[in-house]
């Protein structure tokens, strides 16, 4: 209630959905695993976390999952600070680490029931939820098998089911496709797209860039513990990329000559990789125009496709060196330091 002559206070802003990270840092002794990371993974979208080994991806995910405190910076999970209120953050997020870390003596069903109980779910409801998730990830036939007998891919499925037990709004997935067979990878992509359509926030770290390419809406690149400047990513993504051209019944040098002549480019600008001719184009529009030229000039094109996805091309163009703002390496005489926690800097 307001007094006469006073204005009502404006309503508090709603928490920003998704994941917000600003200026986060984390070191292990003298090893700076995460130097400066800022990102926004939005609700209703799948965001890919891309970087070489040692770039800080897993350390960042551990901080987002409230399992590791940052040395500096701000993290928000659907508006919640996981450092100040880890329980509230964990209630909203599902964490799937690269390794399952299951209780080996428990069956797949028991693993899910116990996890659900730890989230406060009543036992009957936990049992129903476990059965539904086992069906969703394709583990019904192994529901009563102990976790120790599961293959790597089957453990990944169980790890995903465990992350979904409490129906989280935010998902953190570290290498979720590792060990999965082709059919399971297709099913995983469909599942992640469904989660995004339901309005969840999905952050996926993976080395399998071709898999990320088919599922992500956005990508964040990490190099040497820091997020790469978006302008630098944009510049890398605009560079020419190779395309594969395959002609019916023609391979090797003859195919190179025909493609070079049809496109009116020097022969040295056209390469060959096994049966395919490889030629680079600056833009997709240039590639489309080249395909029209090849067909118009009578070449029997049976395949015409980008040799690299945009994520892979950008990743390779960025390189694996330190960003310009990276600190210089320590002098050779510096004493050795303790290794970071297991998997922390991967």
Question: Residue 345: its pLDDT value, please?
Answer: 43
- pLDDT tens for each residue of 192-213: 999 999 999 999 998 778 778 8
Would you say 178 and 211 are in contact if contact means Cβ atoms under 8 Å apart?
Answer: no
Give the pLDDT of residue 271. Answer: 84
Percent of the chain with pLDDT strictly greater than 90: 52
Q: Stretch 110-127: mean pLDDT, rounded?
A: 94
CA dihedral 108, 112, 113, 119 (to 10 degrees): 160
Q: What does the pLDDT read at residue 102?
A: 65
Helix count and strand count (H, E) for the chain: 11, 13
Higher pLDDT, 47 or 54: 47
Does residue 233 have a pLDDT over 60? yes
pLDDT at 341 over 50: no
Identify the residue whose tokens are 């984390």: 26
The first and second tokens of residue 115, run together, are: 């996890």
| Residue 16: band (very low, low, confident or very high) from pLDDT cuts 50, 70, 90 | low
pLDDT the model gives residue 20:
96
Each residue of 290-307: pLDDT tens digit? 999 999 999 999 999 888
Take residue 341 and report the two structure tokens written for it.
Answer: 């926690």
Percent of the chain with pLDDT over 70: 85
pLDDT of residue 294: 94
Helix (H) or strand (E) holding 203: strand 201-205
Task: Round to whole Å and give the CA distance between 313 and 181.
Answer: 25
CA angle 170, 175, 177 (to 5 degrees): 100
Instruction: Give the confidence band of 9 by pLDDT, cuts at 50, 70, 90.
Output: low
The pLDDT value given to residue 303: 92
Residue 108, pLDDT > 80, answer: yes
According to the CATH classification, is domain 19-227 in 3.90.950.10? no
> Residue 306: CB partners within 8 Å, gap ≥ 6?
241, 242, 243, 244, 287
DSSP 140: G
Any alpha helices (H) in the chain, and if so which ranges? 57-64, 86-92, 108-118, 123-136, 152-164, 182-197, 209-213, 230-237, 252-263, 284-296, 310-318
Mean pLDDT within 20-32 = 94
Q: Which of 345 and 309 is assigned the larger pLDDT?
A: 309
Domains 19-227 and 238-318 share a fold: no
Chain centroid to Cα 83, Å, comes to: 23
Band the pLDDT of 321: cuts 50, 70, 90.
very low
Average pLDDT over residues 27-46: 94
31-51 exposure pattern, b = at least 16 Cβ within 10 A, e = fewer: bbbbbbbebebbbebbbbbbb
- Fold designation for 238-318: Alpha-Beta Plaits (3.30.70)
Q: How far is 255 from 245, CA to CA, in rounded Å? A: 9
Distance separating alpha carbons of residues 49 and 38, to the nearest angstrom = 12
Could you give the CA distance from residue 193 to residue 44 in angstroms, rounded to a whole number? 9
Q: Which residues contact 238 (CB under 8 A, 6 or more apart)?
A: 282, 283
Cα(60)–Cα(68) distance, integer angstroms: 9
> What is the tens place of the pLDDT at every residue in 254-289?
898 899 999 988 766 788 888 889 998 888 899 999
Nearest to 170 by CA among 94, 59, 98: 94
In the block, tokens 């023609």 appear at 250
Domain boundaries, the chain: 19-227, 238-318
Query: Is pLDDT above 50 for 323?
Result: no
């Amino acid at each position: 209630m307001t007094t006469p002559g006073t204005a009502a206070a404006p309503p508090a802003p709603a928490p920003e959905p998704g994941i917000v990270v600003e200026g986060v840092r984390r070191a292990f002794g003298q090893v700076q695993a995460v130097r400066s990371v800022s990102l926004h993974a939005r609700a209703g979208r799948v965001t890919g976390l891309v970087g070489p080994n040692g770039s800080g991806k897993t350390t960042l995910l551990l901080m987002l999952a409230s399992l590791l405190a940052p040395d500096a910076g701000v993290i928000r999970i659907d508006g919640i600070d996981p450092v100040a209120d880890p329980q509230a953050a964990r209630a909203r997020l599902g964490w799937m680490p690269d390794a399952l870390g299951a209780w080996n003596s428990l069956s797949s069903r028991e693993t899910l029931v116990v996890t659900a109980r730890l989230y406060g779910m009543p036992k009957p409801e936990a049992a129903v939820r476990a059965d539904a998730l086992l069906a969703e990830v394709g583990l019904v036939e192994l529901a009563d098998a102990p976790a120790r007998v599961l293959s790597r891919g089957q453990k990944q499925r169980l790890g995903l089911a465990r992350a979904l037990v409490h129906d989280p709004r935010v998902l953190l997935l570290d290498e979720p496709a590792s060990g999965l067979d082709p059919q399971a990878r297709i099913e995983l992509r469909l599942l992640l797209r469904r989660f995004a359509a339901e309005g969840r926030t999905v952050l996926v770290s993976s080395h399998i860039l071709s898999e990320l390419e088919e599922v992500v809406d956005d990508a964040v690149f990490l190099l040497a513990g820091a997020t790469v400047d978006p302008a630098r990513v944009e510049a890398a993504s605009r560079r020419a990329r190779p395309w594969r051209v395959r002609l019916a019944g023609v391979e090797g040098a003859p195919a190179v000559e025909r493609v070079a002549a049809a496109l009116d480019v020097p022969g040295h600008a056209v390469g060959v990789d096994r049966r395919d001719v490889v030629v680079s184009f600056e833009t997709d529009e240039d590639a489309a125009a080249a395909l029209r030229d090849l067909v118009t000039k009578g070449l029997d094109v049976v395949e015409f496709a980008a040799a690299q996805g945009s994520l892979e091309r950008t990743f390779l163009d960025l390189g694996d060196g330190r960003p310009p703002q990276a600190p210089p390496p320590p002098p050779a005489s510096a004493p050795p330091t303790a290794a970071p926690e297991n998997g922390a800097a991967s």
